[in-house]
Structure formats: C-alpha cells, structure tokens
Amino acid sequence: MITLRPLTPDDWPLWREVRLAALADAPRAFGSRLADWQGENDREERWRERLVLPGARTLVAEWEGAPVGVAGGVPIPGAEDVAEPVSMWVAGPARGRGVGDRLITAVEQWAREEHGAVALRLAVAPDNPHAAALYRRRGFRRTDLPGNTLPDGRVEHIMEKPLTSLD
C-alpha cells in the first residue's frame, strides 16, 4: 500500500535521505546536482529551511514502510494563482505502481485547496521521457515559455495544466 506523508522541518533526515537518493538515481532530471547538497552544503539547517518555504508542501511516498518517492509544490513568484510541482521522483522498484500519479494528485489538491491555484506549471528535463509521459497523462501540456538552462547546458521544457475542482 502506498501512503503519502507531508514533511515538517522535523522530518529533515527523511527529506535528506530521499532527496539524495533522487539526485543520485536521476542526476539529469533535476536542476540541482548531488554535489550541491553534499559536503559543506549537507547541513541540518539547510534541509530544514527547504521544508519551511512559505506556502510550500513536500510529500514523501512510502511503500511497505520505506520511502519510495517524493514531490513538492511551491508557489510561483509573480504568478499568484499558479503553483509549481518540484523535486518529483519515484524510486526504481516503485515505478509503474501508481506512486507518481498519487504524488501528482496530492500536489494538485494542495495547489487548488491550500494555495488557490488555477494552474500548475512545471519544468521537465528534455531527455526525461518517462516524466514527460506521466505529466501528459495527468493533463499537462508543453508551453512556449522558455525553460531554465541546466548545469550541463540542456534547456528544460515547461509544461502546464489548468486545475478544476473535478481533477
């Protein structure tokens, strides 16, 4: 059974475990690099700060008591009615079991009910077809908005989904 759990600042060790696993497993899927969160950057206060971003929510998916996925939602500065799913990742053994769908559904619900968002907008790495397929299946469509340039020079694709009360 898959369960989702919102993280609080006191859950920083779990957030650290899952985030480092995600960055190690899928280094080309994120704007951050594993090295950005290790060494002198691997400090308790930094992990806690990420879990108290104003208006944000971070969720961990657990399966059989073990963390197998993570996703967050953050407000987009300057776009009051749009939120951004971030840090989405599902561990290899849990892929294809509905974990990604459950995480996206939870972020959609948070965005609509707690943030008042009318749309979700996210960035996906151009060579991450599995993530893009999940987002398309969930109603996201590619936009013409420019994406960020990743550390290795690739440019992210921006996708957006309107939210309705029936999603």
Domain-by-domain residue ranges, the chain? 2-162
pLDDT of residue 29: 82
Judge contact between 125 and 116, C-beta under 8 A. Answer: no
pLDDT of residue 39: 84
Cα distances (Å, whole numbers) of residue 63 to 9, 76, 143, 157: 22, 30, 34, 30
Tell whether the model's pLDDT for residue 166 goes beyond 70. Answer: no
Instruction: Identify residue 79 by its one-letter amino acid code.
Output: A
pLDDT, the chain, mean = 91
- Domain with residues 2-162, CATH architecture: 3-Layer(aba) Sandwich (3.40)
pLDDT of residue 167: 47
pLDDT of residue 155: 92
Using a CB cutoff of 8 Å and minimum separation of 24, what contacts does 5-8 make?
A: 5/59, 5/60, 5/62, 6/57, 6/58, 6/59, 7/51, 7/58, 7/59, 7/60, 8/51
pLDDT of residue 143: 96
Residues 77-88 have a mean pLDDT of 90
Tell whether the model's pLDDT for residue 1 goes beyond 90. Answer: no
Tell whether the model's pLDDT for residue 104 goes beyond 80. Answer: yes
- Percent of the chain past pLDDT 70, that is, above it, reads 98
pLDDT of residue 35: 83
- Percent of the chain past pLDDT 90, that is, above it, reads 67
Tell whether the model's pLDDT for residue 165 goes beyond 70. Answer: no
* Element holding 51 (H helix, E strand): none
Residues 59-86 have a mean pLDDT of 92
Q: Lowest mean pLDDT of 29-33, 43-47, 56-60, 155-159, name the range.
A: 29-33
Spatial distance between the Cα atoms of 133 and 41, rounded to a whole number of angstroms: 33
pLDDT of residue 30: 81
Would you give the distance in Å from CA 1 to the centre of its chain? Answer: 21
